[in-house]
Amino acid sequence: MAKQKSKFVCQECGYETPKWMGKCPGCHKWNTLVEERVASNTSGRHTFVTGDTSGKVKPEKITEIASQKEPRIETDMPEVNRVLGGGIVPGSLVLIGGDPGIGKSTILLQVSSQLAHKKNKVLYISGEESPKQTKLRADRLGVLSDHLYVLSETNMADVSQNIDQIQPSFVVIDSIQTIFKEEVASAPGSVSQVRECTSELMRIAKQKGIPIFIVGHVTKEGSIAGPRLLEHMVDAVLYFEGERHHTFRILRSVKNRFGSTHEMGIFEMKEEGLREVENPSEIFLEERSQGAAGSTVVASMEGTRPILVEIQSLISPTSYGNPRRMATGVDSNRVPLLMAVLEKRVGLLLQNQDAYVKVAGGVKLDEPAIDLAVAVSIASSFQDRASKADDVLIGEVGLTGEVRRVARIEQRVQEAAKLGFKRAIVPKKNLSGWTFPDNIEIIGVNSVQEALKQTLGGS
């Protein structure tokens, strides 16, 4: 009898070592290494070529491979189709993550019902809820269909067997952390189990051409639990974001092999489920206070969609030796950088001021084009002078105080003009090469000082 070997695997990053250590050398986390037995008869090899029983795949010349456009399965939610790049690609493996109770199961059950109403067989596999619990949610959402099958199972072998028997056109796994393979000697949710089960689901998706959606739990830091390998194996990674105490939810694409990344779909949670928000810019700006110091509006790009959101800042004298710098919805490292630029290049004394910056509506913005709006918002709050309510600011701010050009300036300005804004403060380098809308004034600036003179009447 062969001697069983064991290894220690980090449950955070997937680092493997033959002996136990208190601190993982990969992610530097403590007490994350767990012992797992190594199966000697598993090769871990898969081939995704259908009809090839030998398992041998020969290389092909790239010029001889036939080019074909991937067919798309469209849902009745245009926002979901947008995030996926135009619809669901057959044979794709999609990972969706989000905080508990955010609405992952709800949106997948709604999408499953929409596909089932189009005579597609849909298999919804829940490892966390019984079929009766799933039925209660389906009754509340009104998503009943004879083509929608529900299965409560956690054994990967039984999951694969049911897929072979039912031959569905669409599969949902909720969630991957509850599925296990008997051949892997570790607990469900461990690195080895998640890796092997995802690999098996990937084989099924590619060989049978079935699109599979898998739900992934998230850690306290907000990232999908388990190793980054899980995100590398799938074709698309979607994050479902939003505050549990607010009605708006954001479905964001961070990886997509069949479309553009950083696309965003916005939904509103209702009693009957998730409802799409057709014009998110109006939603984010409807509660904006007119004439309030520290409030500015920026046109940000989320994938191919421009949205207008409000940036709010509050600057107040500090009561401590080290002033506080807090940011919600923007990079927390970006706020001290912009305050240093305002202090050095504009002459605002901010070193003894607490700063609080927030993006209204719960949106997260991570592009550099929001720099100018954040900087003007901080200066507006510090000087207690409100910027003009019908101004929209767009531009990246450099360390020397210059305003640098940004991409897709035409789409941003057109969205602002559509919502009734009268002026757009943009980088002067962006003024050439496109046609200005008739109902909005375009003002080009080279520096933060010029932007402050236009918006606040001086620096």
Helical spans, DSSP H, in 350-418: 371-383, 409-418
CA angle at residue 94 from 89 to 100, to 5 degrees? 145
pLDDT score, position 356: 96
- Cα-based distances in Å from 388 to 146, 293, 294, 301: 56, 10, 11, 22
105 is in an annotated binding site: yes
The pLDDT value recorded for residue 56 is 67
Residue 98, annotated as binding a ligand: yes
Cβ pair 236, 257 in contact under 8 A: yes
Token digits of residue 331: 């990079």
pLDDT at 50: 44
Task: Tell me whether residue 67 is annotated as binding.
Answer: no
Q: For residues 148 and 123, give the distance between their C-alpha atoms in angstroms, rounded to a whole number.
A: 6
Question: Has 76 been labeled as part of a binding site?
Answer: no
Res 459: pLDDT = 45
Provide CB contacts within 8 A for 287, sequence distance 6+.
360
CA atoms within 13 A on the CB side of 251: 29
Confidence at residue 52, expressed as pLDDT on a 0 to 100 scale: 47
Phi first, then psi, for residue 402 (nearest 5°) are: -80, 155
pLDDT of residue 42: 47
Judge whether 51 is annotated as a binding position.
Answer: no
Stretches in the chain below the pLDDT threshold 50 = 1, 41-44, 46-54, 459
Exposed / middle / buried, residue 210 (Cβ in 10 Å: 0-12, 13-18, 19+) = buried
Per-residue confidence (pLDDT) for residue 4, from 0 to 100: 63
Structural element, H or E, at residue 254: strand 248-256
Q: Which residues are CB-neighbours of 152 under 8 A, at least 6 positions away?
A: 125, 126, 127, 129, 130, 131, 134
Helices in 95-190 by DSSP H: which ranges?
104-116, 131-141, 156-166
Q: Is 102 annotated as a binding residue?
A: yes
Give the pTM. Answer: 0.77
